[in-house]
């Protein structure tokens, strides 16, 4: 039996600032505007706390985090920094349409990157895939609604991404 947590090919590298955002996003997962506001405020407060505690900018924190990562992850993170991207034309992925904004949040030793696609930006093919999986696993209508309203994460080849906003340039 293969333990995926020890297989270096499966390791996904998240910078500390993104880990805490993801953690709070999962804690506050709901489909109400109120939770979105709470999430945004929580992330803001945590970022301010981390910034104060570490006395570093996000860029400095990220660079320090990056020092201890494998060389391929370091190279990828320099070439494809955390931030907002759009999917290029002819991208071979059915999760979203070309030109849709996605957020890069992690790097893998396989050369892929992790992206987040907002629920409202999922392609019809992605929604159809979700419907098929929901039917296969006997999900209720309520469960299907939650799944359809949730953002999705995917691993993609970064060559299909075009940088729009580098998060390291923002202070």
Q: How many residues comprise the chain?
A: 171
26: part of which helix (H) or strand (E)? helix 16-27
The total number of structural domains in the chain stands at: 1
Q: What is the pLDDT of residue 54?
A: 57
- Taking residues 125-149, report their average pLDDT: 85
Range of the domain at 66: 13-169
Tokens of 171: 């202070």
CA distance 9 to 86: 26
Classify residue 8: in a domain, yes or no.
Answer: no
Q: Between 26 and 41, where is the model more confident? A: 41
Classify residue 6: in a domain, yes or no.
Answer: no
Whether the pTM exceeds 0.85: the reply is no
What SS3 state is found at 80? coil
CA nearest 43: which of 18, 63, 65? 18
In this structure, of 21-35, 74-88, 135-149, the range with the lowest mean pLDDT score is 21-35
The answer to whether 112 and 104 have CB atoms below 8 angstroms apart is: no
CA dist 5 to 8, 69, 98, 108, Å? 8, 16, 33, 13
pLDDT per residue over 96-134, tens digit each? Answer: 778 888 999 889 989 999 898 888 888 888 888 888 888
In this structure, of 23-32, 36-45, 57-66, 92-101, the range with the lowest mean pLDDT score is 23-32
Classify residue 4: in a domain, yes or no.
Answer: no
pLDDT per residue over 51-62, tens digit each? Answer: 655 566 778 778
CA distance 22 to 120: 18
């Amino acid at each position: 039996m293969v333990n995926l947590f020890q297989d270096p090919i499966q390791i996904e590298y998240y910078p500390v600032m993104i880990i805490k955002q993801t953690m709070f996003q999962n804690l506050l997962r709901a489909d109400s505007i109120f939770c979105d506001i709470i999430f945004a405020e929580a992330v803001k407060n945590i970022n301010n706390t981390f910034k104060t505690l570490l006395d570093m900018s996000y860029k400095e924190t990220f660079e320090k985090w990056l020092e201890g990562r494998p060389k391929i992850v370091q190279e990828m993170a320099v070439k494809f920094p955390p931030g907002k991207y759009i999917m290029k034309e002819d991208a071979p992925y059915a999760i979203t349409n070309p030109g849709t904004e996605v957020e890069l949040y992690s790097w893998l030793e396989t050369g892929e990157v992790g992206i987040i696609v907002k629920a409202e930006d999922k392609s019809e093919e992605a929604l159809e895939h979700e419907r098929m999986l929901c039917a296969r696993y006997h999900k209720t209508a309520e469960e299907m609604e939650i799944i359809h309203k949730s953002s999705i994460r995917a691993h993609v080849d970064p060559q299909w991404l075009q940088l729009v906003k580098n998060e390291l340039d923002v202070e």
